[in-house]
């Protein structure tokens, strides 16, 4: 989307050269939406509630164990053998891929941090104790039209050009008991759309997570960790060739509270819940794998918020005036094992089952990503 000043000055030439425009979507060239901030503790972030059309398929109380007995879909998740070069492996289940590296988190933190800075991002969250790095919103400048007009003016007035999309990435480094580290990269996207047929105003709304974009950044991170360009491409190609499969996830009711029944044992359920929380923008304040708990903040709102009120045009577009209505609340996401199946339950800050409407919203958001 071009700045109004650029459109006013060159509209005639733009029409004449429009046939030459080519969107180079196969390249990555990110530029942060705002200047890097000084080093400080990240402010509290109000999070995005993902728009979802996932429908409830179970209205009566039922356990995941009962679903295993035949009241659910057949389990269909691939169990791909890990692919490895040196101490770096790539693993895959469904559309989710992640790295397994035979190094402790403290040896991987700084390379992971440098990785995002090298790719043109600013870091909005840095939590070494949780192993979480999160970028700010940035645009992929490689998606700008590469026509004669921009090649001429863009080099001088590059800020006059902008895409209608923004991306944010979260990297999670999770320690394993054996000393190895699992690395997950999750994507969140926003797009600017017109609100009327007259095209006189726009809003920013969520767009689906892009698993292939996540994979591409995992591949590039592999190179940062010591694999070659050719090796990284071969590993990703091998993982892709193995295909993908669906996962049986069902919304159920436990007592009076909504929950999820997942056809996975605890370790896999814990992993996919973590990825879903990353992709859908929850703030993960802490996690305790031994208790199966993620401690999160969540706000049920249709628009994302920024951490500060005045940060330029991008913040104004993403901001909201209804602060009192959009404050995040603390919840616990509990993953409970029942043999080869698991339940995912929303608890309030005190650890009691959450029965309010927000619990239904959280369950649907997670189910939409996990299915």
- What pLDDT does 62 receive? 35
Kindly tell me the burial class for residue 196, based on how many C-beta atoms sit within 10 Å of its own C-beta (0-12, 13-18, 19 or more).
exposed
Q: Quickly state the pLDDT bin for 371 (edges 50, 70, 90).
A: confident
Q: What percent of the chain has pLDDT over 90?
A: 43
Q: Residue 158: CB partners within 8 Å, gap ≥ 6?
A: none
Kindly tell me the burial class for residue 144, based on how many C-beta atoms sit within 10 Å of its own C-beta (0-12, 13-18, 19 or more).
buried
- Is 294:324 a contact under the CB 8 Å cutoff? no
- What pLDDT does 158 receive? 52
d(CA 86, CA 89): 8
Q: Quickly state the pLDDT bin for 339 (edges 50, 70, 90).
A: confident
Query: Which pair of tokens denotes residue 321?
Result: 């005036």
Q: Residue 364: CB partners within 8 Å, gap ≥ 6?
A: 52, 54, 56, 251
- Helix H or strand E encompassing 132: strand 132-135
Distance of CA 106 to the CA centre of its chain: 23
Backbone angles phi, psi at 64, to 5 degrees: -65, -30
d(CA 247, CA 154): 46
Which pLDDT tens digit goes with each residue over 19-76? 333 333 357 888 775 554 433 333 333 333 333 323 333 333 333 333 343 333 323 3
- What pLDDT does 140 receive? 86
Of 160-169, 170-179, 271-280, which range is least confident? Answer: 160-169
Residue with tokens 């650890």: 351
d(CA 312, CA 273): 34
Query: Which pair of tokens denotes residue 152?
Result: 């001429």
- Give 43 or 224, the one with higher predicted confidence: 224
- State the average pLDDT over residues 311-318: 46
Task: State which of 60-69, 122-131, 136-145 shows the largest mean pLDDT.
Answer: 122-131
- State the average pLDDT over residues 119-123: 94
Is the pLDDT at 156 greater than 60? The verdict is no
Query: Which pair of tokens denotes residue 333?
Result: 């996401």
d(CA 158, CA 137): 18
- The number of beta carbons lying within 10 Å of the beta carbon of residue 303 is 18
Q: Quickly state the pLDDT bin for 83 (edges 50, 70, 90).
A: confident
- Give 148 or 20, the one with higher predicted confidence: 148
- State the average pLDDT over residues 319-328: 54
How many Cα atoms within 13 Å fall on the side-chain side of residue 200? 1
- State the average pLDDT over residues 168-182: 94
- State the average pLDDT over residues 185-200: 90
- What pLDDT does 304 receive? 39
- Write down the mean pLDDT value for the chain: 74
- State the average pLDDT over residues 175-187: 93
d(CA 286, CA 2): 41
Of 26-35, 74-83, 101-110, 230-239, which range is least confident? Answer: 74-83
- The number of beta carbons lying within 10 Å of the beta carbon of residue 177 is 6
Is the pLDDT at 213 greater than 50? The verdict is yes
Q: Quickly state the pLDDT bin for 199 (edges 50, 70, 90).
A: confident
Q: Which fold has domain 78-143+164-245?
A: Alpha-D-Glucose-1,6-Bisphosphate; Chain A, domain 4 (3.30.530)
- State the average pLDDT over residues 164-182: 93
- What pLDDT does 244 receive? 55
d(CA 105, CA 342): 28
- What pLDDT does 301 receive? 47
- State the average pLDDT over residues 100-126: 95
Architecture of domain 42-77+246-371: 2-Layer Sandwich (3.30)
- What pLDDT does 25 receive? 39
- Give 40 or 84, the one with higher predicted confidence: 84
- What pLDDT does 291 receive? 94
Whether pTM exceeds 0.75: no
Q: Where are the domains of the chain?
A: 42-77+246-371, 78-143+164-245
- What pLDDT does 41 receive? 31
d(CA 289, CA 267): 9
- Give 265 or 242, the one with higher predicted confidence: 265
- Give 93 or 52, the one with higher predicted confidence: 93
- What pLDDT does 134 receive? 96
- What pLDDT does 255 receive? 85
- What pLDDT does 34 receive? 59
């Amino acid at each position: 989307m071009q700045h109004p000043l650029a459109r006013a000055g060159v509209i005639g030439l733009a029409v004449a050269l429009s046939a030459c425009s080519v969107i180079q979507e196969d390249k990555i060239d990110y530029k942060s939406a705002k200047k890097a901030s000084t080093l400080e503790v990240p402010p509290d972030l109000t999070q995005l509630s993902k728009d979802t059309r996932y429908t409830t398929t179970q209205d009566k109380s039922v356990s995941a164990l009962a679903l295993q007995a035949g009241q659910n879909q057949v389990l269909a998740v691939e169990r791909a053998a890990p692919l490895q070069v040196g101490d770096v492996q790539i693993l895959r289940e469904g559309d989710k891929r992640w790295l397994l590296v035979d190094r402790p988190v403290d040896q991987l933190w700084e390379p992971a941090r440098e990785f995002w800075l090298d790719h043109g991002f600013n870091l909005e969250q840095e939590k070494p104790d949780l192993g979480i790095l999160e970028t700010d919103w940035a645009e992929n400048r490689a998606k700008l039209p590469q026509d004669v007009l921009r090649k001429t003016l863009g080099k001088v007035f590059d800020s006059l050009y902008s895409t209608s999309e923004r991306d944010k990435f979260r990297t999670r480094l999770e320690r394993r008991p054996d000393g190895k580290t699992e690395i997950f990269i999750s994507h969140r996207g926003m797009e600017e759309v017109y609100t009327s047929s007259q095209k006189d105003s726009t809003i920013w709304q969520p767009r689906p997570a892009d698993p292939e974009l996540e994979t591409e950044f995992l591949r590039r991170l592999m190179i940062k960790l010591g694999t070659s360009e050719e090796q990284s491409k071969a590993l990703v190609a091998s993982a892709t060739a193995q295909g993908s499969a669906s996962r049986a996830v069902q919304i159920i009711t436990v007592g009076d509270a909504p929950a999820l029944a997942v056809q996975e044992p605890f370790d896999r359920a814990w992993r996919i819940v973590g990825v879903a929380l990353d992709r859908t923008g929850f703030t993960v304040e802490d996690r305790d794998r031994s208790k199966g708990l993620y401690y999160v903040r969540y706000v049920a709102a249709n628009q994302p918020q920024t951490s500060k009120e005045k940060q330029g045009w991008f913040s104004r577009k993403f901001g909201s005036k209804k602060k009192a209505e959009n404050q995040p609340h603390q919840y616990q996401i509990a993953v409970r094992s029942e043999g080869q199946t698991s339940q995912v339950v929303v608890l309030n800050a005190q650890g009691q089952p959450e029965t309010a409407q927000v619990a239904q919203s959280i369950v649907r958001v997670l189910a939409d990503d996990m299915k």
